[in-house]
A = this chain, B = another copy of it.
């Protein structure tokens, strides 16, 4: 944006008397200039303002730009100058934001974690619903209806047009919104009142999740939302194509249009292109409030994956939201404590294809092969504890016991990692049954799983170095869960905790149970009890020889 008007000779003071007609030559060296030769400008009798007016005729001067009058192109500046620049983030900031955020570990499929961001938002939006909280994920893969598209819909509080505007602002979060009372350094932020297992539905943090998810899944998004109390629906489209067009036409990149319209009014939809959109809009009528995120131009490999690995990724979602969907006690199929606190959260997934015509429909609550369901239902006892540090940092934890029954360990296999590691070459495994070398704890943040962080063990529940009263293999029969609140930080893609384990290992972190007792002693007693009450292990000792009994 630096612009140089190269003046061949700009009226430098001369000794000789001035001639009647003085003029200078001007080269327009601004990048956008198309003139190749110099222009002569008469300057006799002109003051600087008049001179500028003359320059103006050479070419329009844009608002806010800086120009330099130079005598030769490579001359030194006679004094320091300042020039105004603009450095708006490129639109790839939004469009490619998710591309690498969800890279995950090599080869792992990250799509469930992108969906999770949209579910997070829906959970947050429905948190104050008096009745059922409905979250609908629809995969519209019928091309004759204008697919493939992905719709995530919730019956939450919706967004006003101001809030919809804010949705679109990258990195605008609850901490730095205009009307937020807390500073951007989170000072003044009041945490929601603690609830059991931090199931507070307050899973918004960075102001990026929705955008990253949407542009990881596809290349265009339409958000349709009706806030409570408003008679109108607000609609906003953001797409890669749109950005590219605006860039090409030198229009303002981050400027867009919100459409305000009546519910059910689909007069703006091109009939032949997006049929599904029409029926979606027709559904609006009669709804008090809702938000629908409609993603278009889905990456083809995502369509393949979502279709072919339906079981896999829905199971991963059931894993992430296990405690939101099943309530604080989780999916206890023996149903002992479940009825105390039923969940009103319905997360439903629907896959619509051209053929088969029958939609595939599943409610996350029906899934019973996710890891937490397996852990809960193969365990026979729970050991609860709390950890705290400072005033606000809270972790609830529990350890479950998976007994040895008759002829085998009941510690569940991980269905994701069905191929056991081929360790045979290098070592003989003795007590690696049960949990094996897996970490003890899965970790949840504000109630939802952070999939790539786990905590191996704590000192007080680790296999002791010296002999003890409990057989060592019992330490391999425990699994655990940690529920942290958002005092513990997670990465922007919500795949890992920043330093949960480190923080918990800190000397100032205190582990407690109901009463203030020594947790390591308590744990050992509990483990011993579990072993004695639940393990049904037959042990043959003193082998003498084999006797073959002939049939009578």
Q: Which residues of A contact B (CB under 8 A)?
A: 1-2, 74-77, 80-94, 96, 100, 103, 105-107, 160-162, 164-165, 168-173, 176, 184, 206-207, 229-232, 236, 244, 252, 254-262, 265, 267-268, 423, 425-432, 437, 453, 463, 472, 491-492, 496-502
Contact = CB atoms under 8 A, between A and B. Distances in A.
Given A106-B500, A497-B106, A80 B260 contact: yes
Given A80-B262, A84-B255, A106-B500, 9 more contacts: A2-B258, A83-B257, A86-B254, A87-B165, A93-B171, A106-B498, A184-B244, A426-B427, A427-B427
- Chain A at the B interface: mostly helix, strand, loop or mixed? loop
Contact of A2 (B162, B231, B423): B162
A496 B496 CA distance: 15
A501 B106 contact: yes
A498 B103 contact: yes
Contact of A100 (B87, B258, B491): B491
A505 to B, nearest CB: 9
Contacts of A498: 100, 103, 106
Nearest to A64: B255
Nearest to A77: B232
A53 B344 CA distance: 54
Nearest to A166: B87
Given A87-B254, A107-B501, A502-B106, A427 B430 contact: yes
A235 to B, nearest CB: 9
A82 B91 CA distance: 23
A195 B437 CA distance: 43
A82 B184 contact: no
A499 B230 CA distance: 47
A147 B259 CA distance: 52
A91 B87 CA distance: 11
A136 to B, nearest CB: 25
Contact of A93 (B76, B170, B236, B502): B170
A427 B432 CA distance: 8
12 contacts: A2-B260, A74-B231, A76-B231, A80-B260, A83-B161, A87-B169, A87-B256, A89-B254, A90-B170, A90-B207, A100-B206, A426-B427
Given A88-B88, A100-B492, A172-B90, A428 B427 contact: yes
Contact of A423 (B1, B90, B427, B492): B427
A262 B77 contact: yes
Contacts of A168: 85, 87
A501 B244 CA distance: 33
